Structure 1
Amino acid sequence: MQKIPCVLMRGGTSRGPFFLSSDLPDDVAARDAMLISAMGSGHPLQIDGIGGGNPLTSKVAIVGRSARDDADVDYLFAQVNVDRALVDTAPNCGNMLAAVGPFAIEQGLIPATDPETRLTIFNVNTGKRIEAIVQTPGGTVDYEGDTAIAGVPGTAAPVRMAFLDAAGSKTGRLLPTGKAADVIDGVEVTLLDMAVAAMLLDAGTLGKTGRETPAELDADRAFLQRLERLRQEAGRRMGLGDVSQMVIPKPILLGPPAGDGTITARYFMPHSCHTAVAITGAVCIASACCTPGTVAHRLARLPQPDADGRRRLVIEHPSGQTPVEIEQDPVTGIVTRAMVIRTARRLFDGFVHVRDQVA
């Protein structure tokens, strides 16, 4: 067995091992084989690894110093499939992103400042930058605080993150087809690429309300099969090719808000429903709400911008609500900045042991 240094961290509503890029192979195939072994993928419980048997707990962050002038650290996200020996590095994960700053500081990649440390993270998956502000009183990362986020028990210190110019994360365009709405197999959809490439649709067009529980949606096999057919065609139209082995585009069911929020959402990963909402997904949904002609814009209860031109949108999801602050270019209407607040926690650090034949 080979042992690799790692830190298990919770980032937002996700959890997984964090590795220094220098501790993993440069060869992609060797790296992915090592991650599959570490997580125990290929078994629904990931019983022979440290994965949690759920897409939300089968995630990996790979972090290193950045050679770029406009970033402090590079962050590569890997979604490791639970049931199959597959690794997908196409999307970003905004929840795991919340723990990148604390990890980078504690691993000595960047110095801490008192009382907060501001850093710029380059997401290798999407080629986009994110500004993060981590609480570091006395030059030490502080995980304790009074910030609560839906889907995580208790409270913790806030990690503020601003997604910068996140449009076109994988396709190069906010609206990859050039249209705010398309029709696939008789279903109106919006194909949008903002922080994550996604297919957004009115839940009512598939006989749903958008307020179902994740378990109810996951139990409807016919619905999931139809959603996957729509997703695969959406991927082709977005220029992503055959997406059958990819986790993007993400399907997102939408409905009018049930409470005092902006819109109701059920976010898929893509073959099961998220118990909350991915942060990149929340940024995508909020941006769609602010884009005229989209399915989301029609369903949303859109707030007016404040004196500085910012809007605070609230995404309702199975675990509660996730707020997103949006800034748009006054001329083009393109979202230039999306701010979210997450929390993170260091769970344990040490070594993960992987089989020699994959290392």
Structure 2
Amino acid sequence: MTDIGRRRLGTDGPWVSAVGLGFMSFRTGSGPEEERQARAVVDAALDAGVTFVDTADVYGPEHSEILLGRVVRGRRDRVVIATKFGNPLDRAMNPDHRIDGRPEYVRRAIEASLRRLGVDHVDLYYLHRVDPTVPIEDTVGALKELVQAGTVGHIGLSEAGPQTIRRAHAVHPLAAVQSEWSLFSRDIEATIVPVTRELGIALVPYSPLGRAWLTGTVRSRADLDTHREAHPRFAEANFATNRALADEVATVAGELGVRPSQVALAWVLARGEDVVPIPGTRHPEFVRENVGGVAVVLSPEQLGRLDGLADRVAGERAYRPETIGTEAPPSEVAAIRKGR
């Protein structure tokens, strides 16, 4: 196992590798071939020193958790497992509730995730998206009960607004907040980052490679899979602008003799010791490449050149935390539930 440095999730959460592994790419099935590929990726991650793996019940749905459970069996003690809930998998039971943060759903969701993962607890359990019709205090209260019961080690939120983070943290300490953060997506720096740092909450950036823009491998729309093809930043009207920006990252990488993805991850890692990016991949060689970003040191001049890229990106990122209702105090939740 390689030593790639450690960072802590929150003030009393687990220590994890400075770079984690996002497991969303494993969502198309859980058959033998998918399991073989998932095992190869996790083997490469563990060999490279990665100890933190992030998944969610909705990836697949279910396939990602099932595969992760299978490939870490027998070595559970080497992996800090994070998973997420809040997107109901059985829409027939809850057709009008796109996101579900009700306490009773929290309990059902963790039981199902533990079963799929084949473990007796998860180390970090996130609310995947904030339910605007349920006070965050109610959702986090149910999560607190899971911590007390031992089925969850620590809790977190994904794409929550600053006031929601404060209210949640007042009920039970949050170990981490997950949000998109990269050279192409910096909007959380003005609102989310100051709050998490004030409260001692770690930041876990997903899509730190700009959904592959920052790897230098996307040259035409023919390089896109169906998942990225619909993303605004890969739209035909935005493509040339964003490719030119990605080329600027590649130029810095050429100066250092490293890969563009390593420059992008080095930039994220340089944001602070409370930051743990989770790039995702289906390929062992890219796991090793991503981990190499830990050793890349960007000069002040290079950092300055990279810092301005986000202001020039064409197209919105896929999700922003300030959606209707997420910041609503409990007194307003009933009105939101009625469709105000």
Structure 2-normalised TM-score?
A: 0.26
Higher helix share: 2
Structure 1-normalised TM-score?
A: 0.25
